[in-house]
Chain A
Amino acid sequence: MNWITNYVRPRINSIFSRREVPENLWTKCDECGTMLFHRELAENLNVCTHCDHHMGITPRARFEALFDGGIFVDVKVPAPIADPLHFKDQKKYPDRMKAAQKKTGEKEAMLVAEGEIGRTPVICAAQDFSFMGGSMGMYVGNAIIAAAQRAVDLKRPLILFSAAGGARMQEGILSLMQMPRTTVAIQMLKEANLPYIVVLTHPTTGGVTASYAMLGDVQIAEPNALICFAGPRVIEQTIREKLPEGFQRAEYLLDHGMLDRVTSRTKMREELIGIVRMLMGLPPAITGELPKPDDMPAIEKPKNTPSK
């Protein structure tokens, strides 16, 4: 990755003005308790170097590691009507939104980007669990439709990373209606014979699982991800019995025939490149050092750079 590390990286870093990770901070693995060097953990994609536990990762961090040289351009997502129901629980919905935006530096719970992985042009969408539990509302629906549309326009595969507690209750029925809406988007891809790969990450539950997250040509999950329609607590209350160990986890679903693969995040990029290239009828990916491209890709400042 010579030309990338030497040439593109510094430029990208300056353009994206990433939040610098402090050198001297430690994070405790929530699974095994090991203290992990912050930077080391980030470089390992938030996977514990000690026990392989997969912690949450933001769409932006994921994309920076996934796309060649960390280069990607945000795909524009049409903004939906804000607070269509004037929803108020203990807090007003617009206040909850503002708090989530401030916390994450993102506009909404899904990021869509275009770029190349292993020199393979793709569209990627990733759901942000740290933004109101990744919940699926109008914006997430619009994001998936925009991603599918862009994939069809450019004849590229779509890779979608799901992570959500379910539908966004504050948008009521309109959140539920994202189930058919996103299904229409996936049908557009299928009619264009373009691969749709779903990577289910922890957790993917509720209406999200019961729509676009279960309709992939290939279904991959990250290890130990909780994937379900009804959550374990609801089921335990309904059937009044303890659920078996590992119930509704990625490996359990794999055993029950609901997934194609369970793949570690650190191996995911390579695997996605391989699958996508085979499905697109492309020659094997170049491994090792990438040759310098004929023309350097135009680097644009993405429109949705997070406000700081």
Chain B
Amino acid sequence: MTQYLNFEKPLAEIEGKAEELRAMARQNEEMDVEQEAKALDKKASDLLVELYKSLTPWRKCQVARHPERPHCQDYISALFTEFTPLAGDRNFAEDDAVMGGLARFNDQPVMVIGHEKGNDTKSRIERNFGMARPEGYRKAIRLMEMADKFGLPIITLVDTPGAYPGKGAEERGQSEAIARSTEKCLQVRVPLISVVIGEGGSGGAVAFATANRVAMLEHSVYSVISPEGCASILWKDAEKMREAAEALRLTAQDLAQLGVNDRIIREPMGGAHRDRDAAIKSVGAAISEMLAELAKLSGDKLVQQRRKKFLDLGSKGLAA
């Protein structure tokens, strides 16, 4: 059963009615509801198109955070073979908010690393809602180093509300871990590509997304601060998240204009969660194209390209 977002309530009603009619018909063979149900289907799909044609930034945030949206684990199991998770930072702990390991993508050995939010209460708690601690970043650094050593391209999947704001995380050097992870991204001499699949939350996202190619799913977001956080600081009112989301320009479309992401991956109508297989397939196609774009570049060129890409950012603003 689909979980509806707040702004999808009218849609929920129509789809619910169609479902009800069909359920009634199943009970009573005399009834012929198909025509009526089909009309409702049509109405629902028209409304869906209407709603998703021009999602406001705040609505995009909600779609990006949708609990049924495909997560890192879903992409890894559908797009990669022989996934071999590698655990631990070799210093303190394993961090389940970050998945990573060796895998094959179209048979090519690669390193895949990503944030995993979990998909039910138990796994969400285990995964700490995708909020990594220093150990998560340090594990990623270790895996990136391994990939660099053995010449494996690195693919990162970004989906985090941000790095975990906890006591232990701070004591064990959350800032340093993020800074070193970003630094490692800039050093590796292998192709590094990143896909923002849901939420790109601040420094916790940068630590993985400082890549040669950055792609964003159509309804994913990437921001310096959450709209709620921004609203409570600048508006002194966390309820002003709609205004904050608008002002922050955190959508894939605005960010592409600023040169932050190189491509936008189309989502199925109504968001990735409405047709997970199609969304995953599109991401696979984009990864494969991006890998091909980088395949011929030498280690030096890859490092140079990455540095230049980030140094040049900000040379264009948004059109007035």
- Which residues of A line the B interface, CB within 8 A? 80-81, 83-90, 138, 141, 145, 167, 169, 171-177, 179-181, 183-184, 186-187, 206-207, 209-215, 227-230, 234-235, 238-239, 241, 243, 247-248, 256-258
Contacts and interface: CB of A to CB of B under 8 A. Distances in A.
Scoring B163, B164, B206 by chain A CB atoms within 10 A of each residue's CB, the highest score goes to B206
B29 interface: no
Contacts, number: 169
Contacts of A138: 314
B234 interface: yes
Interface of B: 163-167, 169-176, 178-180, 182-183, 185-187, 202-203, 206-207, 210, 222-225, 230, 233-235, 243-244, 247-250, 255, 258, 260, 307, 310-311, 313-318, 320
B182 A172 contact: no
B111 to A, nearest CB: 19
Given A177-B313, A228-B170, A211 B182 contact: yes
A229 B163 contact: yes
Interface of B (DSSP majority class): helix
Nearest to B236: A90
Nearest to A235: B165
B202 A85 contact: no
A232 B315 CA distance: 35
Contacts of B202: 167, 176, 207
Contact of B307 (A83, A184, A210, A243): A184
A173 B225 contact: no
A81 B175 contact: no
A207 B234 contact: no
Given A177-B314, A187-B186, A228 B230 contact: no
A179 B203 contact: yes
B279 to A, nearest CB: 23
B252 to A, nearest CB: 11
B316 A81 contact: yes
B182 A169 contact: no
Contacts of B180: 214-215
B3 to A, nearest CB: 25
A184 B311 contact: yes
A250 to B, nearest CB: 13
A174 B258 contact: yes
Contacts of B185: 180
